[in-house]
Amino acid sequence: MLLAIPVYNEKKTIPSLIKQTLANLPEQVHRVVCIDDGSTDGSAEVLEEEARRHSNIEIVHQAQNGGYGRSILTSLEIGRARGYTHVITMDCDLQHRPEDLIRFVQEPMDIDLVSGSRYMPESQSQGHAPGDRMEINGRITALLNSRYNWNLTDSFCGFKRFRLAKIDPSVFSETGYAFPMEFWAYARAQKLTIHEIPVSRIYTTDNRTFGEDLDRKRRRYRYYLETLHRSERKFKLQ
């Protein structure tokens, strides 16, 4: 099993993240790949230093910032190319607790997608999620449940385990923050098995931005909806 961690301008959190991750790395996870998505703050150098210190950490550099979705797709492509059966993805900003990694390897291996949820009753919380993010997450999650007859509680958590035998990264085109919308449409079209597990909800700062005009709540919500509808047409769900 491969653990993939997308990284973009996280110089300050990398040392702590790597330390915590290695201390909580399940034995089923054989390697950690950090995807540097064109960072400009010195993250690349910090990552390389960590890789020199730890033999089971590898760094993949993307010359330019390709977006969140592009980093996830790169993770899946690497996993498939190297013969891994599963890839776990985890964020680099310490909003995902490495202590929760064990939960992902304990789930049956024949589940196509094990998806972390920060909004299950068992999910622990630290800090408060920005209101606009909670609102959009709730609205999109309710929409997916209504359209696909699902029971999701969190449609945007990036803490996931993918079974590569059922997922083809080459079919995706969305490389930005709306990648989950395209993936959910694909999951429905392919009839993937999905199981949510509780993970911690950690927000220690609310100053992170989406860039461009996506910090505007209405524009971001519309972007997600447009991507979902386009993906449904693409995968013939409409």
Distance between CA 34 and CA 61 in Å, rounded?
8
Q: Domain with 67 in it: what CATH number?
A: 3.90.550.10
- Structural domain of residue 66, as residue ranges? 2-234
Query: What is the pLDDT tens value at each position of the chain, 238 positions in all?
Result: 999 999 999 999 999 999 999 999 999 999 999 999 999 999 999 999 999 999 999 999 999 999 999 999 999 999 999 999 999 999 998 889 999 999 999 999 999 999 999 999 888 876 666 678 889 999 999 999 999 999 999 999 999 999 999 999 999 999 999 999 999 999 999 999 999 999 988 766 555 565 666 667 788 999 999 999 999 999 999 7
The answer to whether the Cα torsion of 180, 204, 29, 154 is positive or negative is: negative
Report the domain count for the chain.
1
Residue 124 pLDDT: 80
Query: What does pTM read for this prediction?
Result: 0.93
Question: What is the crossing angle of helices 131-148 and 217-234, to 10°?
Answer: 20
Residue 127 pLDDT: 64
